[in-house]
Amino acid sequence: MMMKPLSPKKFLQRNESIVRLALVIFFGVGLAGFAIPATRALFSGLTPVALILSLLTLFAFHHSTGGLRNPSMFLAIVLAGFLIEVAGIRTGIIFGEYSYGNGLGPQLLKVPVLIGFNWLMMVYSTRIVAAGIFASPSLRIITASLLMVFYDIVLEQVAPDLGMWQFSGGNPPVRNYVSWFALSILFHSLLTLSGTRYYNRIAPFVFFLQFLFFIALFFI
């Protein structure tokens, strides 16, 4: 009797250790590329590839227990994140005065198309990390939101060098972090109130690998 071939998703799930190693190698090569002046510009242009790879990895290990509400909530976060960024650069009220570079790929309305998916990836991953620490929904929301702020604090230190974005005053204002925390609370609260449920074994690994990657970039 012939065995049914594994789908790509099932294959990756059964080889999780190989996937983790591949991600470490990918980001390790990225660090080496940034450390060499001659290749730094080339690797800066690969930032969208790293984001898409991380998203695909999360998708491959995603398990939904929330029915149809999960895709609708995820899509809502993508769209809301993108529109918030559009409002942010147009008004300067939400995060401060800033503009995007070319480091995150193609743009629409002067905002990278991928930015909404980056919001989703951050909310998605930090929710799982917080769920592994606390049982209380309130503590999960607060913890996940703080993780997003800490991630942003680190990312802001290297974003201009990567051509992602630049604040007009050089450094992001306090308002940027306050808004990040408030919006994170909002997104995580909506996920909780909507009953969105999912789990993903590799999400914490992807989140902290990216976090450590940006910390390492700061010292290069």
Query: Please, are residues 183 and 83 in contact by the beta-carbon 8 Å criterion?
Result: no
Q: Kindly tell me the sign of the dihedral angle through the C-alpha atoms of 33, 36, 39, 40.
A: positive
Quick one: which H or E segment has residue 212? helix 203-219
Which structure tokens are listed for 57?
């990895």
Taking only the tens place, the pLDDT of each residue in 159-202 is 998 899 999 988 899 999 999 999 999 999 999 998 888 999 99
Q: What's the confidence (pLDDT) of residue 44?
A: 82
Angle of helix 16-35 relative to helix 47-60, nearest 10 degrees? 170
Q: Tell me the pLDDT band of 28, cut-offs 50, 70 and 90.
A: very high
Between CA 127 and CA 139 the distance in angstroms is 11
- Residues 180 and 204: their CA atoms lie apart, in Å, by 20
Alpha-carbon gap, residue 99 to 86, rounded angstroms = 10
| CA dist list (Å): 18 to 5, 23, 86 | 19, 9, 38
The mean of the pLDDT values for the chain is 91
* CA separation for the pair 154, 215 (Å, rounded): 6
Low-confidence winner among 32-36, 84-88, 96-100, 208-212 (lowest mean pLDDT)? 32-36
The token duo for 93 is 């009220």
pLDDT digits (tens, 9 = 90+) for 76-116: 999 999 999 999 999 999 999 999 999 999 999 999 999 99
What global pTM score does this model have? 0.92
